[in-house]
Amino acid sequence: MPVGTISSSPDTVGVAVVNYPVPILETKEQVVSNCTQIANYIEGVKRGYPGLDLIIFPEYSTQGLHPQYWEDLTTTVPGEETAIFAEACRKNEVWGVFSITGEANPNGKPFNSFILINDQGEIVLNYHKIFPWVPVEPWCPGNETKVVTGPKGLKIGGVICYDGNMPEIVRDTVMKGAELVIRIQGYMNPSKEQQRAIAKVRAWENTCYFAVANMAGRDLVYSYFGQSCIIDFDGRVIAECGETPNEVQYGLLSISAIRDARKHWTAENHLYNLVHRGYTAVPDQGVADCPFDFYKNWVNNPEKVRLDVEDLTGKYPIPDKAPASKTV
């Protein structure tokens, strides 16, 4: 897609990604004040990019991850924080992606949540991070990918930070119909180059748009590298921020272009080719059966696969956290 414009059209979705400055917050009052700042941010970006349909803020941009007070900042969805975001989306007639870390979980530890709010101020998607970043993150893992219809009919799914390192999550999201996969992240150095590469690979291997919003700056623990970006479905960068906090990048996603590619590409049509193996040699639609023993075994006998993997990796990734061996 061409870049350099601030508008959009009936066929294009105008998307902005934000290098939000990492917040250091200790109280609920500070969180609410930060939410108001995010709401004001939305108003300013919409004024500067009148074609804006969707704005994306990073993981941890709402509450941060304070090493001491994080549990005190747990909230609900919906709650006071999402109410502020909902009003900003409604007022500015845009969709928004926001982070809640953590969302109260009646059955255990809080969730790390990806919240999509539409231009009417309604929460239309609440995705819980499936792969929390161990051994640091305290969040209860989710167990379901989700996709909804977004602005102008574009199909949207979401993943959170470390999720994106697992190709299965993005593939499952795309197989549910996602045309845009959004990755909100709080990724720190030294992983910058790997994460920039992953964004392009995930877009290419899934014939999908891929948008990343990452934090920038430093909190009490880490330095975050920014590089929020928007990637085309052929793995090319449409727009990318640098490392500076408060940078915003804007790009256009053509709905008709991605749907045309998915219908008419051949050698590069990875979604079709995955379940039509060798259709040139095997008339008329190739082979649909899954050829991967790992996936078949994982579904049918997950505990055995857990043990098989531990033969490769070891049983305890942090040796000094392993239970003491029993003596007789």
Alpha helices in 51-99 (DSSP H): 80-92
The long-range contacts involving 87-91, CB below 8 angstroms and separated by at least 24 positions, are 87/39, 87/121, 88/38, 88/39, 88/40, 88/42, 88/43, 89/42, 89/117, 89/118, 89/119, 89/120, 89/121, 90/119, 90/120, 90/121, 91/43
DSSP structural state of residue 210: E
Residue 281 lies in a domain: no
Task: Examine residue 298 and state whether it is found in any structural domain, yes or no.
Answer: no
Whether residue 237 is contained in a domain is answered as: yes
Asked if residue 72 belongs to a domain, the reply is yes
Domain CATH for 123: 3.60.110.10
Catalytic amino acids? 59, 129, 161
Please state, in angstroms and rounded to a whole number, the distance separating the CA atoms of residues 173 and 21.
28
Is the residue at 308 inside a domain? no
pLDDT of residue 24: 92
Q: What average pLDDT does the structure give for the chain?
A: 94
Measured CA to CA, the distance from residue 58 to residue 71 in angstroms comes to: 19
Assess contact for 200 and 181: CB atoms under 8 A.
Answer: no
- 250 exposure class (CB count in 10 Å sphere: 0-12, 13-18, 19+): buried
Phi, psi dihedral angles at 233 (to 5 degrees): -70, -5
Q: Which two tokens stand for residue 97?
A: 């992606």
Going by pLDDT thresholds of 50, 70 and 90, the confidence category of residue 295 is: very high
User: Is 180 in contact with 208 (CB distance < 8 Å)?
Assistant: yes
Asked whether residue 109 is domain-assigned, the answer is yes
Measure the CA–CA gap between 212 and 59, rounded to whole angstroms. Answer: 10
Residue span of the structural domain in which 214 resides: 12-274
Q: Tokens at residue 311, please?
A: 């033969």
Say if 306 falls within a structural domain: no
**Percent of the chain having pLDDT more than 90?**
87
Question: Over the stretch 50-99, which tens digit does the pLDDT of each residue have?
Answer: 999 999 999 999 999 888 888 889 999 999 999 999 999 999 999 999 99
pLDDT band at 326 (very low <50, low <70, confident <90, very high): very low
> Residue 324 domain-assigned?
no
Place of tokens 């449409």: 238
Q: Give the DSSP letter of residue 111.
A: E
pLDDT at res. 19: 97
Question: What is the mean predicted confidence (pLDDT) over 118-124?
Answer: 98
Number of domains in the chain: 1
What value does the mean pLDDT take over residues 116-129? 98
DSSP character string of 221-261 = S-EEE---EEE-TTS-EEEE--SSTT-EEEEEEEHHHHHHH
pLDDT in tens, 172-213: 999 999 999 999 999 999 999 999 999 999 999 999 999 999
187 contacts: CB under 8 Å, gap ≥ 6: 161, 195, 214, 215, 224, 225
Q: How many CB atoms lie within 10 A of CB 224?
A: 25
Q: State the chain's maximal CA–CA distance in angstroms.
A: 74
Query: DSSP letter at 23?
Result: P
Report the percentage of the chain scoring pLDDT > 70: 96
Cβ atoms within 10 Å of 2's Cβ, excluding its own: 9
